[in-house]
């Protein structure tokens, strides 16, 4: 299995701290505050500049942030996740870089997918979950497809309930950091 190298300290400690705060905030308030994201972005920029120099550190910071953003923004556009989750992954990417944020995203998708299925089964909403997934895939493949009465209006997803996805992102992040450390 592909696992990128663990970043230099203090990056793993900082990332672990920030994802735990984000997950706990997402559980309690069902949102990830922009102030926390901005603080994490600024702190990661400072740490990268300190570890790698201003030019290389800024480049690493930007590459990781843009990779994290690019990996989750498509799900936001099809209403599969919230803006807070996209910003959280962007911020995590700014800390760990492009390779590790890719591994974190894959781990997050596995954890979040399993959690969503368990949630749907527990609520007896499995059929609706699969109908929603079908809608998401159709929107992703043909975003302006004709859907009945109005052309260009995407079919609506019927919620089966919401999960604080920041928890899945935190679990994926901590799991990849732990696996890379061993």
Q: Provide the CA 48 distance to its chain's centre, in angstroms.
A: 21
Question: 42-74 burial, b for 16+ CB within 10 Å, e for fewer?
Answer: ebbbebbbeeeeeeebeebbebbbebbbbbbee
DSSP symbol at 150? S
Average of per-residue pLDDT values in the chain: 88
Q: How confident is the model at residue 2 (pLDDT cuts 50, 70, 90)?
A: confident
Per the model's pLDDT, the better-predicted residue between 133 and 13 turns out to be 13
pLDDT in tens, 4-42: 888 888 999 999 999 999 999 999 999 999 999 999 999
- pLDDT over 90, % of the chain: 64
Q: How confident is the model at residue 149 (pLDDT cuts 50, 70, 90)?
A: very low
Burial (CB count <10 Å: 0-12, 13-18, 19+), residue 169: buried
The model's pTM is 0.84
pLDDT in tens, 78-127: 777 889 999 999 999 999 999 999 999 999 999 998 998 898 899 998 88
Per the model's pLDDT, the better-predicted residue between 116 and 159 turns out to be 116
Lowest mean pLDDT across 2-6, 63-67, 71-75, 106-110: 2-6
Residue 51, pLDDT > 80, answer yes
Helix, strand or coil, per DSSP, at residue 169: helix
Residue 153, pLDDT > 70, answer no
pLDDT of residue 95: 96
């Amino acid at each position: 299995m592909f696992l990128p190298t663990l970043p230099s300290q203090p990056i793993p400690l900082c990332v672990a701290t920030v994802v735990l705060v984000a997950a706990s905030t997402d559980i309690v308030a069902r949102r990830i505050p922009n102030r926390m994201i901005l603080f994490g972005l600024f702190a990661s920029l400072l740490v990268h500049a300190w570890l790698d120099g201003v030019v290389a550190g800024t480049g690493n910071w930007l590459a990781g942030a843009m990779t994290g953003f690019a990996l989750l923004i498509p799900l936001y556009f099809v209403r599969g996740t919230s803006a807070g989750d996209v910003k959280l992954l962007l911020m995590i990417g700014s800390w760990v870089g492009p390779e590790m944020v890719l591994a974190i995203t894959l781990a997050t998708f596995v954890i979040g997918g399993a959690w969503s299925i368990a949630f749907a089964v527990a609520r007896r909403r499995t059929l609706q979950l699969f109908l929603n997934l079908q809608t998401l895939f159709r929107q992703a493949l043909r975003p302006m497809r004709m859907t009945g009465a109005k052309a260009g209006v995407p079919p609506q997803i019927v919620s089966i309930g919401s999960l604080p996805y920041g928890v899945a992102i935190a679990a994926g992040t901590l799991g990849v950091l732990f696996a890379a450390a061993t």
